[in-house]
A and B are shown apart, each in its own frame.
Chain A
Amino acid sequence: LSAVPQARRASLARFLERRKERVVSA
């Protein structure tokens, strides 16, 4: 994962977290 640039890692973490929220609220 260290090869994944910081910007993408942050975006990915945010995407996964929001996806969890969408699933929970659905």
Chain B
Amino acid sequence: NILLETRLTDPNGLADFGDLNPNNYMLVADSAKVNNVAYLVQEYVQVRTGAVKAKETKVTDYSGTFALTVRSYNNNQPLKNIGVIIIPSNKFNYASTTAANLKVADFSGVTNDTGLITFKIPSNKQYSVYLYNTVTNASYNYNNSVSVQKDATVNYLMNIY
């Protein structure tokens, strides 16, 4: 794909590309933030002769579901109340403290009675998952390469000692 032009959206969220030759184009917005979380929007639009294409997109539609289950290495039982932090991979440092990881997190929470926690996260964005003890804040485990496709669900398992 060849980059034709870039525009900034105005205060109403609108980017006007004006007159274009009839064609299929790809639109990419990689810095759209909702609730301080950046989403990656990429979609195709068709421009037709003599027509005005007014495309409108809700940024958080570019999401998928990340369903994480945490189990014990020792007996494979689900573990509840495990702290879970979802961090953009480019902001994650395995040596960071839990507090530091929480500051750069996009999402966080704790596992439920079945060891499960579910997040709606931006699609096509690389994340690290960091597990910690909610009483001591000690790190349990992390994984450095999680992502979901738009509208898809990823079921994921992590074990801790």
* Chain A complexes with chain B: no
Give B residues with C-beta under 8 Å from A.
none
Residues on A lying within 8 angstroms of B by beta carbon are none
